[in-house]
Each structure stands twice: as C-alpha cells, then as structure tokens.
C-alpha cells in the first residue's frame, strides 16, 4: 500500500513542472507585498479573492499551455504568425517596462529581506548578490537543471502554510471571510482588489506558460501529435500549480489579516515591513519563515519574469532561443535575460522606489491583460490553429468571465489613477 502510494506520488511529481513553477512565480515578492497590504489594511475582507481567482487563473493558463503544446511555439510566435504586426509590437511595448519594473521590485524586496536577516550586511549587497547568482544559474545551467531547481524551490513556499498557525485564529471568521465576499465601495479597497487581480492574472505568465511547455515537449521527446494523455497531464500540472498559488496567496492574506490587522498595523508598503511587523506580534519564527519565503519566491519568480521577456523578444525577431541552449547557441536570448536583470537592479539606484514600480507595473499589466486574454480566447477557439484541441464550453465561460473582470479592473484602475 505504502509502495503504491509512493509510486503514485513519484509519477505525479514527474508530471508536474511548468504549471507548478508558473503558479509559484505568481506569488513573487511584489505579489506578497500586495497581499500583505490587503491583509494589514482590511483584515480578512479580501480572503475570498483567492477562491474567485483560482478557476480564472487555471482556465487562462491551460489555454496558454495548450497553445504551446499544439503549435510547438510560444504565444508570441503564434501572435506573429496569425495576427497583425501592430498587435505584437503593442504587446512588446507594454510588456517590456512592466516586466522590468516587476523584476526591479522583486530584487529590491529580496535585498531588503536579506538585510533584515543579516542586519550587518547592506540591502544593496544582497540585491547585487541575488542578481549575480540568478544570472549565473540561468546562463550556465541546462534547462532540465533549472526546471528541477525551480520545482524544488517551490517547497520553500510551504512555510506560508505554517505562519498563520503560530498565532491564535478565529476559525468562524476565517470560514465566513473565505466564502462570503466582502466589497467596500471605497477607493482604497477597490484599488486593493484591482491590485490583487493584477498580480494574480499577470500577462508575463501567459507568455512563460506557452513557451516553457514547448521546452518541456522538446526534453520529453514528444514531437508526435498532441494526444489526450498529454493534454490531461498538462491540465493536472496547471491545476496543481494554480491551486498552489491560490493557497499561498490565501495564507499570506490570512497571516497579515489576523496578525497585523488585529495588532493595529494597517499600513504595509513593502515585504520587509510585513516581516518586521510580524516579529513582535507573532514571534521570531513567524518573522523568520515569512522572510525566508520572500527570498524563495524571488528566486523562482525572477527567472520566470526575465525568461518570459526573453521569449517575447526572441520570438518577435526570430532569434535563436531556449533555456536548453548554451550561451553561444542563443546569445540574444541570454543577453536579454541579463539586460532585464541588470536594468531591474538599476531601478533601485535611479530613484524609482519599489512601491512606485509596483503601481506602474499594475497599471501596465491591467491595460495589457484584457487585450491578451481576448487574443488567447480567440486563438484557443480557432480550429485552423488548434485543430481538435479548441476550447470546451467551461474554458470559454471561465475565460470570458476573466476577460470581463480584468477589463472592468483595467477601467477602474485607470479611473482611480487619474480621476480618483
């Protein structure tokens, strides 16, 4: 019995990969900052968003993965082949600054948390160290090794499952907040909701998911026609990854919404502030676990962010690409990754604060996400491109709901930014 269970778990662990890494990277340090802001400011009032976001995230990521599997190219390659050039260049124009600012905010967050753990060492040193470490690993390690490291790094995020239970909880209130949505018609609350949506359904994840599925297929030697088994395994992987992401998001809001909110800490602007605020209220262990989790998520998210940007550029201009290739085989691909990390790091030295970077990122993601979701829906229903693997009714319903919600969020975001 134990052997059967062990075999099943091992088989499942082999199946999961791109979906899990994508889901884990969604809860990056900038995402943690957004969830911490929500919990500190409004307690458990936004806990229900993790339940609502999950099926929408899963539906869109499954479409992107299916596009990658069926077309054997990333989302950018499909856009380039079947859509007008201006659409492609518009996505490039919006994606580049948004992803760069996201990388910058994540590097700054990791540096600040490193300084909290080792106060004698300056945060700048940690930011530079993590940038150099990631750059070295991405360039010198083959894809399978990178994928394996990212997959095992996801285990670090399990620390967020522990943190809430280091503090006394009101389980009736938790259940109520989870399943009964709270909406406050207040500018700041709406802004937080829009921020949560922007950080959970992010355009860079769409590009990464499609491209990394192509990488996986290459390594599994599955150059044959995509069959139902491959699609089923992909769905399992994506569903698991998005569930993992949603649960982490849930527990971060739960932690900050009980410990910080009840402790009278209602203004959190950065992840290091969240970690510091936890220390006197929930003890050293909660503070330590939260901080370690931030570094772990950054190590997962930054390769995904820089990788997705590089896939976008190389597919747009027809350059050699792929994490499975050595530097001399895909020089342009790795140079873009290096530039994105170095420019992201430099944002900390030219006066753009991580919080401003997060706001600008949310605006750019908010504008591009609805357009991209509409295009993904169109591709996924196009028989000329997808053949028999077009969307089913459930995918279309969930995708349409995501499109409506993200469009409404984009309009609200722009209204609040310029007229609120």
- The answer to whether residue 222 scores a pLDDT higher than 70 is no
Least confident residue range of 59-68, 106-115, 163-172: 163-172
- The answer to whether residue 9 scores a pLDDT higher than 70 is no
CATH of 18-418, one of 1.10.3470, 3.30.70, 1.10.10, 1.20.1740: 1.20.1740
Residue 335: pLDDT band with limits 50, 70, 90: very high
Residue 401: pLDDT band with limits 50, 70, 90: very high
Least confident residue range of 198-202, 315-319, 362-366: 362-366
2 or 49, which is more confident:
49
47 or 98, which is more confident:
47
Helix H, strand E, coil C: the string for the chain is: CHHHHHHHHHHHHHHCCHHHHHHHHHCCHHHHHHHHHHHHHHCCCCCCHHHHHHHHHHHHHHHHHHHHHHHCCCHHHHHHHHCCHHHHHHHHHHHHHHHHHHHHHHHHHHHHHHHHHCCCCCHHHHHHHHHHHHHHHHHHCCHHHHHHHHHHHHHHHHHHHHHHHHCCCCHHHHHHHHHCCCCCCCHHHHHHHHHHHHHHCCHHHHHHHHHHHHHHHHHCCCCCCCCHHHHHHHHHHHHHHHHHHHHHHHHHHHHHHHHHHHCCCCCCCCHHHHHHHHHHHHCHHHHHHHHHHHHHHHHHHHHHHHHHHHHHHHHHHCCCCCCCCCCCCCHHHHHHHHHHHHHHHHHHHCCCCHHHHHHHHHHHHHHHHHHHHHHHHHHHCCHHHHHHHCCCHHHHHHHHHHHHHHHHHHHHHHHHHHCC
Residue 310 confidence (pLDDT): 93
Residue 12 confidence (pLDDT): 57
For the residues 330-340, what does the mean pLDDT come to? 92
Residue 201 confidence (pLDDT): 86
* Token pair listed for 38: 């929500």
- The answer to whether residue 165 scores a pLDDT higher than 90 is no
Residue 3: pLDDT band with limits 50, 70, 90: low
Mean pLDDT of the chain: 83
Q: At what angle do helices 331-346 and 85-117 cross, to 10 degrees?
A: 50
Residue 17: pLDDT band with limits 50, 70, 90: low
For the residues 323-327, what does the mean pLDDT come to? 82
Tens of pLDDT along 170-203?
889 889 999 999 888 777 888 888 888 888 888 8
Residue 63: pLDDT band with limits 50, 70, 90: very high
Q: What percent of the chain has pLDDT over 90?
A: 22
Domain residue ranges in the chain: 18-418
Tens of pLDDT along 378-398?
999 999 888 888 899 999 999
Nearest of 98, 321, 302 to residue 214 by alpha carbon: 321
Residue 14 confidence (pLDDT): 63
Least confident residue range of 119-128, 264-273, 378-387: 264-273
* Chain-centroid distance, C-alpha 303: 11
- The answer to whether residue 28 scores a pLDDT higher than 70 is yes
Residue 192 confidence (pLDDT): 85
- The answer to whether residue 10 scores a pLDDT higher than 70 is no
Residue 221: pLDDT band with limits 50, 70, 90: low
Q: Could you give the count of Cα atoms lying within 13 Å of 36 in the half-sphere of its Cβ?
A: 26
Q: Phi first, then psi: what are they for 230, rounded to 5°?
A: -65, -45
């Amino acid at each position: 019995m134990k052997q059967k269970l062990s075999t099943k778990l091992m088989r499942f662990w082999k199946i999961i990969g791109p979906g899990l890494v994508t889901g884990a990277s969604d809860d990056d340090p900038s995402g943690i900052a957004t969830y911490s802001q929500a919990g500190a400011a409004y307690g458990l009032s936004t806990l229900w968003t993790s339940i609502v976001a999950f099926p929408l995230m899963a539906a869109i990521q499954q479409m992107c993965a299916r596009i990658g599997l069926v077309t054997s190219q990333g989302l950018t390659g499909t856009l380039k082949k079947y859509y007008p050039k201006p659409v492609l260049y518009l996505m490039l124009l919006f994606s580049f600054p948004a992803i760069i600012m996201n990388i910058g905010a994540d590097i700054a967050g990791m540096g600040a948390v490193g300084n909290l753990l080792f106060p004698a060492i300056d945060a700048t040193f940690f930011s530079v160290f993590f940038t150099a470490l990631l750059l070295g690993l991405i360039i010198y390690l083959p894809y399978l090794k990178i994928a394996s490291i990212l997959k095992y790094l996801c285990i670090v995020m399990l620390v967020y499952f522990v943190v809430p239970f280091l503090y006394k909880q009101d389980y009736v209130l938790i259940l109520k907040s989870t399943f009964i949505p709270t909406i406050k018609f207040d500018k700041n609350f709406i802004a937080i909701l829009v921020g949560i949506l922007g950080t959970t359904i992010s355009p860079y994840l769409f590009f990464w998911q499609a491209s990394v599925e192509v990488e996986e297929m290459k390594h599994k030697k599955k150059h044959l026609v995509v069959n139902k088994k491959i699609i089923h395994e992909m769905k399992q992987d994506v569903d698991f990854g998005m569930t993992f992401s949603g649960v982490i998001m849930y527990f971060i809001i739960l932690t900050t919404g009980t410990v910080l909110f009840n402790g009278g800490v209602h203004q959190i602007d950065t992840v290091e502030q969240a970690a510091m605020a936890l220390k006197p209220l929930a003890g050293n262990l909660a503070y330590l676990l939260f901080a370690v989790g931030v570094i772990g998520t950054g190590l997962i998210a930054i390769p995904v962010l820089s990788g997705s940007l590089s896939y976008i550029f190389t597919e747009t201009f027809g350059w050699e690409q792929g994490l499975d290739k050595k530097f001399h085989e895909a020089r342009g691909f790795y140079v873009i990754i290096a530039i994105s990390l170095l420019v992201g790091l430099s944002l900390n030295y030219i006066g753009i604060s991580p919080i401003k970077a997060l706001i600008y990122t949310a605006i750019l993601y908010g504008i591009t996400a609805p357009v991209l979701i509409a295009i993904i829906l169109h591709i996924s229903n196009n028989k000329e491109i997808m053949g028999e693997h077009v969307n089913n009714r459930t995918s279309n319903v969930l995708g349409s709901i995501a499109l409506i919600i993200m469009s409404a969020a984009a309009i609200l975001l722009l209204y609040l930014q310029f007229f609120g």
